[in-house]
Amino acid sequence: MSPVPGEAAEAKRVLRRSLLSERRARPAAEVRRLGLALAEVAAGLPELEGVRTVAAYVSVGGEPDTGPLVARWHARGVRVLLPVLLPDDDLDWAVYEGPASLREVRRAGRMTLREPAGPRLGPGAVTEAGAVLLPGLAVDRAGLRLGRGGGSYDRVLTRLAASGADPLLLVLLYEEELRESVPAEPHDRPVHAAVTPAGVRRFGG
């Protein structure tokens, strides 16, 4: 049976509210502790061996902490691209050059973001990455990711597909955010792996 139009979108909104509420309730000390564990697991992925450029993001609030992983990649000499949110919700990119290269940017009606202050490389720079770290709230057994709903990373995935790029697609999650299923729409694309503090879940063989 085909899904009722709009049904999946509404189910996503409901699930997002629940998962975001759980993240907001997570103590900051726990977020930091689990971020260190996530970095340990993700940095050891054999699929990242030899990858010289990665696209990542700076976590905010109760999101799984990307800071330790970004720092570890940077210390290894990996070129780390971080996003700059554009007015139309698309993403530009700039190179991470250490903590001092980040600036706080307040977006109207949004949370304050930390973005790279260096020269912008253009939205197409993400196609140079051998791995892309995608924000997500949950991933299901098929690798389908529930995003935050802004559409920025749907554009990234579309741009990657159009360019013929095939980077490793990763999501950092808390263990309980691995789910049997998440609501999906036709445009949703699966990721290759979800990293939790306990280990890695790979998808697609």
Task: Compute the average pLDDT of residues 105-134.
Answer: 90
Q: Which fold has domain 7-202?
A: Rossmann fold (3.40.50)
pLDDT, tens only, 14-30: 999 999 999 999 999 99
- Point out which residues pair with 84 in neighbouring strands: 92
In the prediction, which pLDDT does 1 show?
A: 39
DSSP reduced 3-state for 72? helix
User: Could you tell me the CA-to-CA distances from 5 to 1, 11, 131, 179 in Å, in that order?
Assistant: 12, 11, 33, 23
3-state secondary structure of 24: helix
pTM here is: 0.92
Q: Please give the C-alpha separations between residue 143 and each of 45, 88, 146, 169, 190, in angstroms, as whole numbers.
A: 17, 27, 10, 10, 5
Q: Would you say the C-alpha torsion 157, 159, 161, 167 has a positive or negative sign? A: negative
In this model, does residue 2 exceed pLDDT 50? no
**Nearest of 176, 167, 201 to residue 42 by alpha carbon:** 201
